[in-house]
Amino acid sequence: MTDKKNNEDSEARWSERAKAWSSTSEKGISKDDTFNQMIIKEVGIQSGEKVLDLASGSGNPAISIASFMKKKGQVFCTDITPSMLMVARQRAQHLNLKTLKFIVSDMQSQPFESEFFDAITCRFGIMFAKNKFNVLKEAGRVLKKGGRVALIVWGAYEENPPFYVPRRAVAKHLGIREGPIPNRHSMAKPGTLEKIMRESGFIRVEERELRYNNDVVDIEEYVIRNLKRSFSKQTNCMTDTEFSLLKDTVVSAWQPFYENNVFSIPNYARLVLGSKT
């Protein structure tokens, strides 16, 4: 399959998902902003810098970065899917983030001049690129000398309850197969992304685990948002009663994570940092 065909297929898939994300995304900063703040801290974002966020989707971490920089500098929120960027733009408008720029672009072929950015971020995007080396080659080209990169990919599927708990509950409820491990976990093996970064010429490359527990008070709201986002094909044609029954099934599946009056849900990702010579 050609890169053009891959891009067209990817854009079509994410355009379909954008409909669900548009109706379920928070207005402004994400309710769970933990990974975004980790990126800001670890890559050392400074107010006034020029930052490129790759595969921004609905705006993470670009919106959090622009908010952190307090109306100074520039943050370029980029994605191959225009409808996903529209969701990001709507979120940013609620925060009046005028330093954010929204550009439709493929992370494997950037429209920017060389040595333009101080830092580059990518939150759960690079694993979907057909050619990861092209992504990092372009990142190196548009990054200033001494510039920094921070990329996050999801850790192992079996260590990420936000994904396997609802998938298994939905599959059991509907009497269907859970299916193979999603592609979002294709770079979960420790050292995978670090190796690509080193081979792409970056220096001071470091890979580490990012783990935290997302404490959810309103589990029903959490489950409903997830069902509408991640299982739209299964739920769009359901009656209210059918959806309610499915929701109750998934809520029950989360009971083992209930403690101290909250649902404490583990999240696990892998962060890789690097610099340009």
Give the pLDDT score at 11: 57
Give the pLDDT score at 169: 98
Pairwise CA distance, residues 270 & 160, whole Å: 12
Tell me how crowded residue 224 is: count the other CB atoms within 10 A of its CB. Answer: 19
Give the pLDDT score at 31: 87
Q: Which residues pair with 258 in a beta bridge?
A: 263
Tell me how crowded residue 259 is: count the other CB atoms within 10 A of its CB. Answer: 10
Domain boundaries, the chain: 3-156+183-214+267-275
The rounded Cα 86 to chain-centroid distance in angstroms is: 16
Contact 21, 58 (CB under 8 A): yes
Residues 6+ apart with CB under 8 A from 202: 136, 140, 149, 274, 275, 276
Mean pLDDT of 250-265: 97
Using the predicted structure, report yes or no on whether residue 5 has a pLDDT greater than 60: no
Give the pLDDT score at 1: 44
- Output the six-digit token pair for 80: 């191959």
Using the predicted structure, report yes or no on whether residue 222 has a pLDDT greater than 50: yes
- Our CA angle for 44, 48, 50, nearest 5°, is 75
Half-sphere exposure in the Cβ direction for 117 (13 Å, CA):
27
Query: Is it true that the peptide bond before 256 is cis, omega within 30 degrees of 0?
Result: no
Considering only 7-21, 182-196, 257-271, which range has the smallest mean pLDDT?
7-21
- Output the six-digit token pair for 227: 């069902």
33-48 confidence digits (pLDDT tens): 999 999 999 999 999 9
Q: Is the dihedral of CA 5, 7, 8, 10 positive or negative?
A: positive
Pairwise CA distance, residues 41 & 47, whole Å: 12
153-169 confidence digits (pLDDT tens): 999 999 999 999 999 99
Q: Which residues pair with 267 in a beta bridge?
A: 212
Find the helix or strand (DSSP H, E) in which 225 lies: helix 219-230
Q: Label residue 59 left, alpha or beta by phi (over 0 means left) and psi (-120 to 50 means alpha).
A: left
- Output the six-digit token pair for 216: 């959810």
pLDDT-derived band at 23 (thresholds 50, 70, 90) equals: low
Considering only 19-23, 110-114, 124-128, which range has the smallest mean pLDDT?
19-23
Give the pLDDT score at 8: 46
pLDDT-derived band at 201 (thresholds 50, 70, 90) equals: very high
Contact 53, 76 (CB under 8 A): yes
CATH class of residue range 3-156+183-214+267-275: alpha beta
54-92 confidence digits (pLDDT tens): 999 999 999 999 999 988 999 999 999 999 999 999 999
Give the pLDDT score at 14: 58
Give the pLDDT score at 212: 97
pLDDT-derived band at 7 (thresholds 50, 70, 90) equals: very low
Give the pLDDT score at 16: 64
pLDDT-derived band at 17 (thresholds 50, 70, 90) equals: low
